[in-house]
Structure 1
Amino acid sequence: MPHRPQSHRLRHGRHSENGRAYLITTVVYRRRPLFSDWRLGRLVVAELKRAQDCGQVESLAWVLMPDHLHWLLQLEKATLPQVVQAVKSRSTRQINRRLGSDGPFWQSGYHDRAVRDGEDLQHIARYIVANPLRAGLVKKVGDYPLWDACWL
């Protein structure tokens, strides 16, 4: 049975709170492993940096896997839907321009989890950046080109 995206089932009307940390996961359309080309991934990284430079978020940790993004952020001067939509929209334009294509790049929707007060952000960040290890893509985190954490 073919995999069918379930992003339409993600909740609408999210509540977001400035100053709170969130773990975001968003997936490439049809789970195409396009970030195997790290140059395409760097276009997304530029948009994550832009969101931070604009004061919308403090980016705590992220990893771009071949077909999805995990991003731990602290929301600052925007709502969660505004931030995610802007990053996805701008990165789609940049990647489509690079590939000479058009149309969707990301699946619609995203998964978010608000981090509870008292949860260890560094523990969550370590889990995020270790994704390439668990997936068997590299033998050491430092060998993977598409990750960062503010504690390192």
Structure 2
Amino acid sequence: MPRPYRIFYPGATYHVHARGNRRGAIFYEDRDYLHYLALLEQVRSTHPFDLHSYCLMTNHLHLQIEISHTPLSQIIKELHSRYAIYFNRKYDYDGHLFQGRYGAKVIESIDHFLGVSRYIHRNPLEAGMVGDMANYEWSSYLSYICKTENPHIYTQRTLSYFNEPAHEQYRLYTESENKNADELIWVPR
């Protein structure tokens, strides 16, 4: 039975996730994370997209990505193929770096869009890697709460859904234990 086709239309937004083969590490050191982000920018230069949030964990990753005209499958194939070649050469490995096909779910509502952003940024906290999400270096979270420049992401869409000060409201929304912290979002329901 063939795999189902990925949903594609210009402007679609996705929650992409990929895990290391056999749940193994896909990043060992800072240089690996930096290389993945550099490759992301190289791929973006030929296949434009907006990255709304990301979190690169030791053995998996999450991207919240809005495509333009290039199908997501082309973007991820190029990005992950190039990263796997880099990783396998660097560590003298053979075979697949990523476990199976990457996961991608289309985001079709504002609630889902914001929930994915929250989920992605909470990942290191939920995994017990940090006590404060702001302390995790390989996520886009700091760009949202500290107004620090991050060339990899586009924060405007996400922050547009919050009252001012949007950075603080987003922080409260993301750090809240209540998964339905919707009172912080101004969008009418």
Q: Say if 2:29 is the partner of 1:37.
A: yes
Alignment of 1:22-33 (within 5 A): 22-33=14-25
Kindly indicate whether the alpha-carbon contact (under 8 Å) linking 1:48 and 1:59 is maintained by their aligned counterparts in 2. no
User: Structure 1 pair 139/23, CA: closer, same or farther in 2 (3 Å)?
Assistant: same
Alignment of 1:60-139 (within 5 A): 60-119=52-111, 121-139=113-131
2: CA distance between counterparts of 1:13 and 1:132? 31
Relative to the length of structure 1, the TM-score reads 0.82
Structure 2's unaligned 5+ residue stretches are 141-152, 156-166, 168-189
User: Structure 1 pair 18/113, CA: closer, same or farther in 2 (3 Å)?
Assistant: same
* Larger relative strand fraction: 1
Identity of aligned residues (%): 24
1: CA distance between counterparts of 2:40 and 2:114? 19
Aligned-pair distance for 1:15? Answer: 2.2
How many equivalent pairs are there? 144
Three-state SS of the structure 1 residue aligned to 2:137 is: coil
Structure number with larger C-alpha Rg: 2
User: Which position in structure 1 is the counterpart of 2:11?
Assistant: 19
* Cα root mean square deviation, aligned: 2.3
**1:91-144 residue CA offsets vs partner (Å, 9 max, x unmatched):** 111112221333211122011110114336344212201100111101122221
